Amino acid sequence: MHPVRMPPLGQTSDELRIVAWRKREGDEVAAGEPLLEVETDKATLEVEAAHAGTLLRIVHGEGRTVQAGAVIAYVGEPGEDVTVEVPAKVQAAPAVRRLAQEHGIELADVEGSGPGGRVERADVLALVEEGGPGELVSRHRRALAMRLGRSAAIPQFTVAVTVDMTAAKGLVERDEAVTYTHVLL
């Protein structure tokens, strides 16, 4: 029996969301054959089977967000006993659990921003505001929102200088191949 692990495909994150399984439990799988589709923070990619055999067990279904390296399925010989790894319990305060339940959001589908991946109230509220009750925001939009939020904290400044561009203007007018960008560079 061979565990199928989530490969490290994300460019800026080690978490990937399972979009669709191409195979079902009990299906034959060839090595190199597309097994499932995953969504990174930038693209949707196929994951190929590393071993041939039968897809014995799917540990994480479609729509689940999984860390790179986590076991997502098992491939082996038909009838093999499969010991399934149980995913770790999601860390969240009781009030956050109630809030998620009120809005029909599964905590396992929420990307926690707290220490150790803990799901915070703001994480649940962000899903409610962005996608409506029970509707999850795509990973692409969440990644974009996180980057925009971080960029707001970076101090912005402008430097200005006055320059006599008379000579540069003459050069640009005389030679069509030269632009103001060339002069500035």
Please state the rounded mean pLDDT for residues 6-18.
Answer: 76
Residue of 41 and 133 predicted with greater confidence: 41
Strands 34-39 and 28-29: unpaired
Q: Is the Cβ–Cβ distance between 137 and 111 less than 8 Å?
A: no
Domain with CATH 4.10.320.10 in the chain: 94-152
Q: For residue 167, how many other CB atoms are within 10 A of its CB?
A: 9
Predicted confidence at residue 56, as pLDDT, reads 92
Q: Out of 3.40.1160.10, 3.40.50.300, 4.10.320.10, 2.60.120.380, which CATH number does the structure's domain 94-152 have?
A: 4.10.320.10
Q: Is the Cβ–Cβ distance between 87 and 108 less than 8 Å?
A: yes
> 147-176, pLDDT tens digit by residue?
777 777 778 788 898 989 999 999 999 988
**pTM for the whole structure:** 0.49
Q: Is the Cβ–Cβ distance between 10 and 40 less than 8 Å?
A: yes
* CATH 2.40.50.100 is right for the domain spanning 2-76: yes
Predicted confidence at residue 140, as pLDDT, reads 59
